[in-house]
Structure 1
C-alpha cells in the first residue's frame, strides 16, 4: 500500500486552494506519497474552487478529491465575511461522522501517514485521534499571525474582559509588533461568542498536534519564525515542530475573455507605471467608498487597473437601481471612466491577480492584506498599500508595514472610510517618496529571498523535507 497524506481544508477559496497547492508541493518533492483531499460541501457559492479542482483532477492523478455530503446548518447561519469563521467551524464539527466514514474508506486503499487540517477544521482531530492518525495543522496565513494565534489562550487567561472592551490597549506577543486589542481578528474580540471559544480550543489543540505547517518563509518573518520555533508563543504549553514551507501560491488562474483584455491593456503601459487595486473574493464597498477611491485615483494622476465589485444589496444606490446587474459606472462619480480612460482600466468582479502582479507594467498593489495576495505580491516583487477589510487583515497590515516593511499603510476614519485625500497621499508616497523607494527595494529583496527559500538547500525546501520525514511514522491499522 502506498502512503497517503489526507488534507482537510476549509471550503473557502483562499484556504482550499492554498492547501491543495501544499499537496502539489509535497508531491513534486516527494512523489512516493498520494494526496487525498476531503472537502466539506460549502453552504455558499464555491464556483471558483470547482473550476480549480476540475483542472487539478484532470492533470494530477495522484491527487484525489472526496466530497462530504451536505449537512444541515443552524437556521441562523448566513454567510458573509464576518460570519465565515463561525459558519465553517460549525460545518466541520457537524461533518465529523461523514469524515470518519471517508477516512475509513481511504484507509482501505492506502496507509494514511498524516491528516493535515485547516484551523477551521480543528474539531476533526477528535476523529483522527480516535483512528490513531497523526494530525498536523496547515496555517494558511503568516508566521506573525500564527504567533498571535498560538498566544491567544495566554491572552484569554490573563483577563476576564473581552478584547472589544479594551480598545486601544496594546497586546504584546513574542516575535511580533504590538497590536491594539481592537485590531485583533473579529472572532477574538468577544469572549461570549461561540467562535471565540473555537479559537481558544484550536490554538491549544495546535500545540498538542504532530506539527504545524506555515505558508511563509524564514527571511520574510524572521522574528516570528524564531519565536514560534523556540516555543515562546505558547508559555506553559509544549510546542510541536513548526515547518515554514512557503511561499505556496497557485500557479494558474481560471478566467474569461475580459481577463485577457486587461492583460493586453497592461502590455501597452510603461514599465512599473500601473497601480493595481484588488480587495479579495469577499471585499465589497458601499457606493460612498467607491466614489472616494475613484476621486483619489483621478486626483493622483496615476495609471491604474481597478477590480470593482458591486456594493452589497443593502447599499442605498443598489436599492434605487432597477437592473439586476448594474454597470460599474452606476456607483462611481459621473464621467469618471471617460475622464480617466487614457490611463485607467476598470474590471468587474474578478481579474487574474497573479498574472497581473507578475506583469512588468505593474508598480504597486492596493491590497486587502489577505495572506495569499501578500505572498503573490512578494513573489512578484510588487510594493503594497495596505488596506485591510476583515479576518486577520488588520493585523497583517501592521506586520506588513512595521515588521516586514514591504507596504505603506492606508488609514481609515473612525467610520472605516478611506478618503480620496488619504488614498491620493499614499499613492504619492509609494511612487515618489524615500519611504516608498525603501519599500520597493525591500520587497524586491524578499522576492529574491522567496526564490532562494524554495530552491535546493533553501530554508523552505529543508523544512519540507523534514515534514515529509515526519510523515513516515504511525499509520491507520
Structure 2
C-alpha cells in the first residue's frame, strides 16, 4: 500500500537570505523522507526579486512555492526600520495565508506550519487548524537564546535604561558575554514600536510546538545546551545545522570572476561581500578601497552603490547606477592587476569553495558565516544590521574564527586598519591559526551533517511515524 503524503507549509519572511535558508532546509527534509510534500507561502513587498524567482525554479517536484499578493506599506512613516516592514508584511498577508491553509486542509494529512522567526504571526492559522506550529530560526543558537531570554531581560532591566547603556556585558544563557550595543538592531531603542514588535515575537516563541535552529553543538555547545535544558521551560529545540546553499545561479559576472580566481595562488585572495542587501556609506567605500589597495593583497570585491542605510539593499533590488563610479578616482586603474570587481552580485558558494580564497570580509550574516566555516575561510567580521553584531561576537570571541576591526569613534573603519587586518589574515600566522580552527569546525560540521540526527527526529515528529 502506498504511504500517505504528509503536507508541510512553510511561511518565510520577505527577503532573499531567509527564504534561501528555508529552501535549503526543505530540500534536506524531503531527502530524508519521500512521504513529504512542502508548500511555500511567500509574503512579499512589491514584486518578487529576480534572485528569488530564479532559485524557486530549481525546486524539486515535492516542493511547491506560491508568492502571496504583494503587500503595500506606503502608509508607514518614512524611516520605519526594515524589521517593522518584514513583520507587517506577514501580518497583512494573514488573510491570504489563512485561505491557502484552509484549501490545503481539504485534503488529508496537513501536519505542520513552519514559520520564519519574523513570520511568527502566521502561526495563529496553525492553531486554528490544530496542526503543529514550528518556528525556523535561520540564525545562530546564540541569537535564539537571546530571543527566548529577552522577555526575562526586559523585566530585569529598568524600563528607562537602554541595553546599550549598561556598564556590564549581558550574560545570555549559555553564551559568551555581550555588550548591549552588540545586541540585535530591533532592541537598541526600547522606546520604539520596533522593540515592542520584536519583544512580542520573542514572547510568542515560548508557546510554539518546537523551534528549529540552523546551528550545531560543535560550534555552539553552550547556547544549544541552554536551549535544550528542560529547566528553562522552552519549547523543544531542534539544532539541524549546518544548512547552507550548495550551488548558485550562473551569470556572466560569476563565470568571469571564477576564471580570474583560477589564475590566482592558493589562499591568496580576499573575498569582500556584504551579503544580499548590505550597503556602505560613500566615506566607508572610500576607506575600504584605499585599505584594500594599501594591503597589497589580491581581492575580489562585490561592489554596491553607497547608501547611508546599511540594509538598503535588503528589500531593494539594485538600480541602474554603475556601482564602480562611486569608487575613488583612479582606484580601478591602480588595482587592475591586484583585484577583481563585481557589480552587485557574485556566486558566493563557488567563490568560497575556490582554493584561491584565503579570507573573507563579511557582514556576518549567518548563512555566510556557516559557508565560511564549511570552506575553512577566516573571517574579517564587518557587521552591518539585524543580528550581525551578535554573530560577529560569536565568531570572534566565542569560536574564535574571525578578527573584528575596531573602527574609529564614529564607527568608520579606516584604511590603515583595513590594510593591516587584511594582511594579518592573508599572510600572517594569525590567518593560518584561524584557518586551522575553521578546519576543526568543518570536520565537526560534516560529521553532524552526515548523521542528520536532529533533522531526522524533526521529520519523525512531523510525519508522526
Query: 1:95-153 CA deviation, whole Å, 9 max, x = no partner?
Result: 22221111011112341111110111111122211111110100000111111111111
Q: Which residue of 1 aligns with 2:58?
A: 55
**Alpha carbons 1:163, 1:182 under 8 Å: kept:** no
Query: 1:212-251 CA deviation, whole Å, 9 max, x = no partner?
Result: 111111101111111111157x5xxx21211111111122
Structure 1 CA distance for aligned equivalents of residues 153 and 86 of structure 2: 24
Structure 2 CA distance for aligned equivalents of residues 370 and 171 of structure 1: 22
**Alpha carbons 2:164, 2:179 under 8 Å: kept:** no
SS at match of 2:130: coil
Structure 2 CA distance for aligned equivalents of residues 285 and 90 of structure 1: 26
* Residue 397 (str. 1) matches residue 392 (str. 2): yes
What is the 5 A alignment of 1:72-471?
A: 72-73=72-73, 75-76=75-76, 83-159=81-157, 160-163=159-162, 166=165, 168-231=167-230, 234=232, 238-312=233-307, 325-455=320-450, 458=451, 461-471=452-462
Structure 2 CA distance for aligned equivalents of residues 434 and 267 of structure 1: 25
What is the 5 A alignment of 1:24-43?
A: 24-43=27-46
Deviation at 1:195, TM superposition (A): 2.3
Structure 2 CA distance for aligned equivalents of residues 203 and 31 of structure 1: 33
Q: Which residue of 1 aligns with 2:315?
A: none
Identify if the C-alpha distance between structure 1 residues 167 and 294 changes in structure 2 by more than 3 Å, giving closer, same or farther: farther
Structure 1 CA distance for aligned equivalents of residues 295 and 401 of structure 2: 21
Structure 2 CA distance for aligned equivalents of residues 69 and 326 of structure 1: 29
Identify if the C-alpha distance between structure 1 residues 426 and 92 changes in structure 2 by more than 3 Å, giving closer, same or farther: same
Stretches of structure 1 that go unaligned for 5 or more consecutive residues are: 316-323
Identify if the C-alpha distance between structure 1 residues 167 and 429 changes in structure 2 by more than 3 Å, giving closer, same or farther: farther
Identify if the C-alpha distance between structure 1 residues 196 and 269 changes in structure 2 by more than 3 Å, giving closer, same or farther: same
Structure 2 CA distance for aligned equivalents of residues 9 and 397 of structure 1: 24
SS at match of 1:171: coil
Q: CA RMSD in A?
A: 2.1
Output the TM-score relative to the length of structure 1.
0.90
Query: 1:239-295 CA deviation, whole Å, 9 max, x = no partner?
Result: 121111111112221232121000000000001110000001221112211111111
Deviation at 1:414, TM superposition (A): 2.8
Q: Which residue of 1 aligns with 2:313?
A: none
Structure 2 CA distance for aligned equivalents of residues 14 and 98 of structure 1: 23
Identify if the C-alpha distance between structure 1 residues 345 and 72 changes in structure 2 by more than 3 Å, giving closer, same or farther: closer
**Alpha carbons 1:162, 1:189 under 8 Å: kept:** no
SS at match of 2:110: strand
Alignment: residue pair count: 453
SS at match of 2:410: coil
Structure 2 CA distance for aligned equivalents of residues 161 and 433 of structure 1: 46
Identify if the C-alpha distance between structure 1 residues 407 and 165 changes in structure 2 by more than 3 Å, giving closer, same or farther: closer
SS at match of 2:57: helix
Structure 2 CA distance for aligned equivalents of residues 77 and 50 of structure 1: 29
Deviation at 1:46, TM superposition (A): 2.0
**Alpha carbons 1:296, 1:420 under 8 Å: kept:** yes
SS at match of 1:351: coil
